[in-house]
Each structure stands twice: as structure tokens, then as C-alpha cells.
Structure 1
């Protein structure tokens, strides 16, 4: 049985893009997820990157998103010169 992580890392720009693609303001998304507007703004700006499981799941559900859509993308290999 898989264990729930102690926290989730969230990629701010990806989170913001997902929220905006849903047509939601910061306040609307925060209300749907049951978190404060300032907490969501800190996540989007990268001031805060970690979320506890309960808040993360509520936010992911509110944005109809997958873990991959909200997580830090893998590093891209450097371009060859």
C-alpha cells in the first residue's frame, strides 16, 4: 500500500498556468481549495513550495489537475552547441 508523502512540492508557474487555464482568479481558486488567497499567492510566486497532503489534494481537486501538472518539471537537458 502506497504511503501518502509528508509534503508535496508544487511548481508555482505550473500552478498559476493551471489556475488561469481554468479561468479562476486567485481568490476563487483559494476558496474552492479551502486555503487563503495569500497562501495560494505564495505558492504561485515560489515563496512557498511545499504543501501538506490535505491542502494539496484539495487544491489539486479544485483545479481539476494531476500531480504532473502541479509538480516541478524535470530538468531539461542543456542544448548542444
Structure 2
């Protein structure tokens, strides 16, 4: 059985495009996903890139996304 990665690297621009495409405000999405507005803003701007699996799943559920369009195609290395 394969274990999920410890974190997922999110593509902030893709996250923002998807949120806006669905017509969801940043406060509404943050509330739906159970995360803070500032955390979501940091993800969208690229200040923060990594999310834990449970948080990533909650964000995908809140956006009704069932694929990996929110992830970076080429993850960057940890510093």
C-alpha cells in the first residue's frame, strides 16, 4: 500500500484561477475548506506552497475538484 506524500505542493495561480472560475470569494473558500483566509492568500500568492494531505483534500472538496489541477507540475525542492 502506497503512502500519500507528507505534503502536496500547490500551484497558487491554478488555485486562484479555479476559485475565481467557480465564482467563490476567498473568505467563502477559506471557510468551506476549514482554513484561514490569510493561509489561502499565502497559497494563492506563492508565499506558501505546501499543504498537508488532509488540508489539501478539504480544499479540493470545497472547490469540487477531483483531479490534481491545483498541484505544481514540477515540484520545487525543499530549502
TM-score (norm 2): 0.87
3-state SS, counterpart of residue 68 of structure 2: helix
How many residue pairs match? The answer is 74
List aligned pairs for 1:23-62, cutoff 5 A: 23-62=23-62
Structure 1 residue ranges without an equivalent (≥5): 75-81
CA RMSD of aligned residues (A): 1.1
After TM superposition, the score normalised by the length of structure 1 is: 0.85
Moved over 4 A (4+): none
